[in-house]
Amino acid sequence: MLRVIQCFSESEDGLLVELLDCGHQGPMHHEPLGDRQASDAPGHADRTGEQVDCRKCDRMELPEGAEAYKTTAWWTHETVPKGVLGNHRTRPGTWGRVEVAEGRIRYVAGLPAPADAVLEAGDIGIVVPEHTHHVELMGPSRFRVVFLKVGGGGSSDPVHFE
């Protein structure tokens, strides 16, 4: 999944890493920075804003440090908003965690990283930022969505319904 390089930083082992708009860090596989700062690394400052493939988003992995900032009510087949049953997506940088407490639902995510999973009580589904998805009810169920963002904060309206 294509993501935008926001800036560069130094990893714990002294290597240059990309900080992406999804919250993931991408290793640049370069020599250690030594006495240089990440912003001084030759040829990298001009790559800010460039799109790169994020394999961690493709694998639907939550980034380290993702913190919850908003949680929906527990929804049932009677209370789930119609928009959740149709295609929708989260805003840039907003992750989601679908938590199922009772019953079963189907979580369907579209391209570029297609996923189709039946989630049962105790299961969790991951929603990738800007990734079109929807939920299908499979009988009586109770579930909610927790919205997460790296670096705190977040949009008061984390979802865009199509």
The token duo for 89 is 């997506």
In this structure, the answer to whether residues 78 and 134 fall within a common structural domain is yes
Note whether 30 and 96 are same-domain residues.
no
Based on the domain organization, do 49 and 89 belong to the same domain?
no
Among 33, 12, 154, 140, smallest CA distance to 95 is for: 154
Claim to verify: residue 139 and residue 70 sit in the same structural domain? yes
The reported pTM is: 0.79
Q: Please check whether residues 77 and 150 belong to one and the same domain.
A: yes
CATH number of the domain that residue 151 is part of = 2.60.120.10
Q: Check residue 36 and give its pLDDT.
A: 46
Q: pLDDT tens digits, residue range 109-140?
A: 986 667 899 999 999 999 999 989 999 999 99
Segments forming the whole domain that contains residue 26: 2-58
**Residue in the structure block whose two tokens are 């939550």:** 62
pLDDT at 81 > cutoff 50: yes
**What's the mean per-residue pLDDT of the chain?**
84
Question: Is 69 a residue whose pLDDT tops 90?
Answer: yes
Whether 89 and 11 share a structural domain: no
Per-residue pLDDT at 43: 54
- Specify the pLDDT at position 34: 45
**Predicted pLDDT at 49:** 87
Q: Where residue 7 falls among pLDDT bands split at 50, 70, 90?
A: confident
Same domain, 71 and 134: yes
The count of domains in the chain is: 2
Query: Do residues 10 and 70 both lie within one domain?
Result: no
More confidently predicted of 107 and 153: 107
Question: Which residue did the predictor score with more confidence, 4 or 143?
Answer: 143
The answer to whether residues 117 and 100 touch, using CB atoms and an 8 Å cutoff, is no
Question: pLDDT by residue (tens digit) across 17-35?
Answer: 888 999 998 765 444 444 4
pLDDT at 66 exceeding the cut of 80: yes
Using CA atoms of 64, 17, 91, 98 in order, give the dihedral in degrees to the nearest 10. Answer: -30
| pLDDT of residue 100 exceeding 90 | yes
Q: Judge if 131 and 84 occupy the same domain.
A: yes
